[in-house]
Amino acid sequence: MKCIYVAGHNGLVGQALVRKLSARPDIKLLVAERSELDLLDQQAVYHFFKQHKIDEVYLAAAKVGGILANRDLPADFIYQNLQIACNVIHAAYQSDVTKLLNLGSSCIYPRLAIQPMSEESLLAGHLEPTNEPYAIAKIAAIKLCESYYRQHGCDFRSVMPTNLYGPFDNFHPIHSHVIPALMQRFHLAKRNNEPQLSVWGTGKVRREFLYVDDLAQACMHLMDMDTARFWALVSPMQSHINIGCGSDISIAELARTMADITGYSGTIHFDTSKPDGTPRKWLDSSLLFSTGWRPQTDLLTGLDKTYQWYLSAQN
């Protein structure tokens, strides 16, 4: 049986990967709580890898958050994400791990990148200032994987998911991303019979969203691909692959959809004194689609599934 380690198994992506991988009978799934393994501790990570004889790694561990968290904690975002990537990727090399999949973020692309954003857009312009430290850490992780491939022949792959949502998302009132943040606020506004709900920004910016179980399936699809086929798709210095759904939606449309999902009937106000972030984030996923993979969950279905999970988690 293959021993597969999922780093960051308690997060949104990690939970989805564990759900999907645990259904495979040929896999021994390995996870570790933060109390058991601190990914910021280089020696601890090295000893963990040596102890368990790991065959494959899904690197889904990261410090993540929305616009406010990135604005207020830039040093935490760049330091912790760099440290996690360096420790896990280097330990995988030292321990002769067969394959590693590094999960990044679409924020690696320039703020004003041509839409949809292809893999070639990486490092072609200035990053979005509100999350630049996080983006730089994620870019560094891609280049780490590429460098270990170029120098040592390590089959370390990178994928760049679009904005994700689903069960076990972070619903923190301050540090959450747009979908869980809006979902919780619309839910509370309905429960409290609030006549108006305020949404940050103009509502005009556009975002692409992918249901997290679809992302997990895409990751497994790419990891199951043999080495020769994967590296024939990419190049040694542009090796990451986008994972998106192929379409986007404005924040205003998303807010109206969220009102429908939660049953909120009040007025939606857009607070233009608050930042919008990047004008548009829509990935060109044609390279991935060319391999035969497509998402299975449309936005309305995914939001409804997520809201039902959120309601059950409140009980």
| Per-residue pLDDT reduced to its tens digit, 53-109 | 999 999 999 998 777 788 899 999 999 999 999 999 999 999 999 999 999 988 899
Using CA atoms, how far apart are residues 256 and 150, in angstroms rounded to an integer?
A: 47
pLDDT band at 175 (very low <50, low <70, confident <90, very high): low
Active-site residue, from 5, 58, 109, 134: 134
Give yes or no for a contact between 39 and 84, defined as CB atoms under 8 angstroms apart.
Answer: yes
**What is the pLDDT, as a whole number, of residue 31?**
98
pLDDT band at 174 (very low <50, low <70, confident <90, very high): low
Residue 315 has pLDDT above 90, yes or no: no
Amino acid at 173: P
- Least confident segment among 129-143, 170-184, 299-313: 170-184
Using CA atoms, how far apart are residues 259 and 156, in angstroms rounded to an integer?
A: 42
Give yes or no for a contact between 169 and 179, defined as CB atoms under 8 angstroms apart.
Answer: yes
Residue 23, C-beta contacts closer than 8 angstroms, at least 6 positions apart: none
Residue 141 has pLDDT above 70, yes or no: yes
Strand partners, 243: 161
Question: In this structure, what are the phi and psi dihedrals at residue 106, rounded to the nearest 5 degrees?
Answer: -65, -10
Contacts by 24-28, CB closer than 8 A, 24 or more apart = 26/1, 26/2, 27/1, 27/2, 27/3, 28/1, 28/2, 28/3, 28/4
Residue 176 has pLDDT above 80, yes or no: no
Strand pairing category for 249-250 and 206-207: antiparallel
The H helix count followed by the E strand count for the chain is 11, 13
Q: Is 134 one of the annotated active-site residues of the chain?
A: yes
Using CA atoms, how far apart are residues 137 and 79, in angstroms rounded to an integer?
A: 8
Predicted model pTM: 0.93
SS3 6: strand
Residue 255, C-beta contacts closer than 8 angstroms, at least 6 positions apart: 182, 186, 199, 203, 268
Catalogue the E-assigned strands of the chain.
2-7, 27-30, 56-59, 99-103, 155-161, 163-165, 196-200, 206-207, 209-211, 240-243, 249-250, 267-271, 280-281
**What is the pLDDT, as a whole number, of residue 288?**
98
| Per-residue pLDDT reduced to its tens digit, 250-300 | 999 999 999 999 999 999 999 999 988 778 889 999 999 999 999 999 999
**Residues across the chain:** 315
**What is the pLDDT, as a whole number, of residue 91?**
98
SS3 50: helix
Contacts by 120-127, CB closer than 8 A, 24 or more apart = 120/238, 122/238, 122/240
DSSP 156-170: EEEEEE-EEE-TT--
**What is the pLDDT, as a whole number, of residue 171?**
85
Residue 50 has pLDDT above 70, yes or no: yes
